Amino acid sequence: MKIQSLIAVLIATSAASAMAAPDTYTIDPAHTYPSFEADHMGLSYWRGKYKKTSGTVVLDRAAKTGSVNIDIDAGSIDFGLDAMNAHAVKEDIFDVAKYPKITYKSKSVTFKGEDPMSIEGDLTLHGVTKPVTLIITKFKCIMHPMHKKEVCGADASAVFNRADFGVTKGIPMFSPEVRLAIQVEAIKN
């Protein structure tokens, strides 16, 4: 009787541990496009996006912890204007030959209930790493009808000063403030 009780406790403990384990998600590059807007001489905002993104998201909703690691191919920048795309990758703006990757690595995730609400992390752009906080304005997970796996999606935003990262082309004629808008979908491993 004692052995059966011990086995039952071990099975229950193993099941509880498995349920509380963090879930890992792989960024879906076909549904993740970090986009941005930046001032164009006070006349308008230039908007662009990066077309190649990869990374992982780890969430432990029970423990209210998580992590985010994103890699962006800096050369995949797209303003919707080929001439601007070609200029942006050159040495005087993003210098993609020297700095081919933009990264974001979280330090902490703040939750409200089971949903992440903000992420404190480090953005590395143009060879410079600075803290940037992402605010999550929408978050949802579903059993995806095509993938047959859980998929989580979010919209996040942030504002930073590009001069802090050494991207100073056009300042002060162009404001250095950059607004990020990131749509992300990630598939559970």
CATH code for the domain in which residue 62 is found: 2.40.128.110
Residue 86 in any domain: the answer is yes
Q: How far apart are CA 73 and CA 119, in angstroms?
A: 21
Structure-model confidence comparison of residues 12 and 68, the more confident one: 68
Residue 127 in any domain: the answer is yes
Residue 17 in any domain: the answer is no
pLDDT tens column, 47-98 = 999 999 999 999 999 999 999 999 999 999 999 999 999 999 999 999 999 9
Residue 74 in any domain: the answer is yes
Both tokens assigned to 118 = 């903000």
Q: How far apart are CA 23 and CA 169, in angstroms?
A: 41
Residue 7 in any domain: the answer is no
Range of the domain at 145: 22-188
Q: Could you tell me the pLDDT band of residue 11, with boundaries at 50, 70 and 90?
A: very low
Q: What is the mean pLDDT of residues 166-183?
A: 95
Q: How far apart are CA 137 and CA 116, in angstroms?
A: 10
Residue 16 in any domain: the answer is no
Give me the number of domains the chain comprises: 1
Residue 59 is predicted with a pLDDT of 96
Residue 13 is predicted with a pLDDT of 44
- Say whether pLDDT at 8 is over 80: no
pLDDT tens column, 24-44 = 999 999 999 999 999 999 999
Query: Model's pTM, two decimal places?
Result: 0.86
The answer for 91, left when phi > 0, alpha when psi is -120 to 50, beta otherwise, is alpha
Residue 16 is predicted with a pLDDT of 46
pLDDT tens column, 133-171 = 999 999 999 999 999 999 999 999 999 999 999 999 999
Q: What is the mean pLDDT of residues 107-126?
A: 96
Residue 2 is predicted with a pLDDT of 56
> By CB neighbour count within 10 A (0-12 exposed, 13-18 middle, 19+ buried), where does 159 fall?
exposed
Residue 21 is predicted with a pLDDT of 87
Residue 9 in any domain: the answer is no
DSSP state of 160: E
**DSSP letters of 93-148?**
TT-TTT--EEEEEEEEEEEETTEEEEEEEEEEETTEEEEEEEEEEEEEEEE-TTTS
Residue 146 in any domain: the answer is yes
